[in-house]
Amino acid sequence: MTSGINIVFDTCAAILLLKGNVDLSSLGIDIDEAFQYISVITRMEILAKNDMKAEEEKAINDFLADVTVIPLGKIVEQKTVEIRRKTKIKLPDCIVAATAIALDAVLVTNDSHLLYLSFPGYKVTGLS
């Protein structure tokens, strides 16, 4: 298993993790040894759910306590613009991909448009 790597969860992956529907060890990722990140966009998306129940909000806040949230800094902004100019991917997904590139991290996702993105420095693994 790979340990000590940087991983970024996109919104879909974060939701699946929260629901307990993901076994990262099947991807060769030791979650206890990996450095875990999300983009500020992912944070906003998971917190913005309509009609959130108290137990869902607690689970989200527990998840957020275990990951580092990456803000929109200059490098992420530059990479986002580069990706957006060269693809048809929506801006929020470009931000998430750019966050992974900026951190030299593997993006964990099940979004097909992010799974097949080819961009310098971009690493991705898919959830099944």
Measured between alpha carbons, how far is residue 112 from residues 63, 81, 89 in Å?
24, 20, 11
Give tens-digit pLDDT for 82-92: 999 999 999 99
- Give the residue extent of every domain in the chain: 6-126
Residue 82's contacts (CB-CB under 8 Å, 6 or more residues apart) are 98, 119
Give tens-digit pLDDT for 28-48: 777 778 899 999 999 999 999
What is the topology classification, in CATH, of domain 6-126? Rossmann fold (3.40.50)
Answer yes or no: is pLDDT of 64 > 90. Answer: yes
Looking at residue 1, its pLDDT comes to: 47
Answer yes or no: is pLDDT of 123 > 90. Answer: yes
Q: By three-state DSSP, how is residue 71 classified?
A: coil
Query: pTM to 2 decimals?
Result: 0.90
Answer yes or no: is pLDDT of 105 > 50. Answer: yes
